[in-house]
Amino acid sequence: MSPALERSRRTLQGWRLLKFSVVGAAGIAVQLATLAVLVAMGVHYLLATALAVEIAILHNFFWHRRFTWASRLSGAGQAATKSLIRFHLGNGLISLLGNLITMRVLAGVLHLPVIGANILAITICWLSNFFIGDRWVFRR
């Protein structure tokens, strides 16, 4: 690969990571707000975490298709369904299992505040989710 082409590829990847992070930041707001409401309603923190993560996963999938990886995708319903399944199998499992395990340790064992523990859990999953999304879920 020529040096100019390699620089162009890196620049595009950097912009995609920035877009991924913007969508993720909005997803964090969705997840934390959902978690806070559910916990305030008396839902157990692990069930509330699982529900909040799922809502954030759907939010992020919608925006990643339309913003982060829009240049790679067609609007076809079947392609969207396949992408959604891959998103749940990749990003969804990383987010759900990563959040539940981390929350169990931080909130359940160490008794850290639920929202703070969830912010740490989200941070731990962030980079893995980008690479799964880029290389598998929204591949060309």
Return the closest-CA partner of residue 87 out of 22, 32, 26, 132: 132
Which residue ranges in the chain fall short of pLDDT 50? Answer: none
Residue 48 tokens read as 């509330």
Return the closest-CA partner of residue 33 out of 64, 55, 57: 55
Query: What does the pLDDT read at residue 77?
Result: 66
Residue 125 tokens read as 């999953």
Helix axes 45-63, 3-40, angle to 10 degrees: 140
pLDDT digits (tens, 9 = 90+) for 44-82: 999 999 999 999 999 999 999 999 988 877 656 667 888
Query: What does the pLDDT read at residue 71?
Result: 84
Residue 52 tokens read as 């909040």
Query: What does the pLDDT read at residue 75?
Result: 59
Query: What does the pLDDT read at residue 34?
Result: 97
What residues have CB less than 8 Å from 80, skipping those under 6 apart?
Answer: 65, 73
CA angle 138, 77, 33 (to 5 degrees): 65
Query: What does the pLDDT read at residue 2?
Result: 83
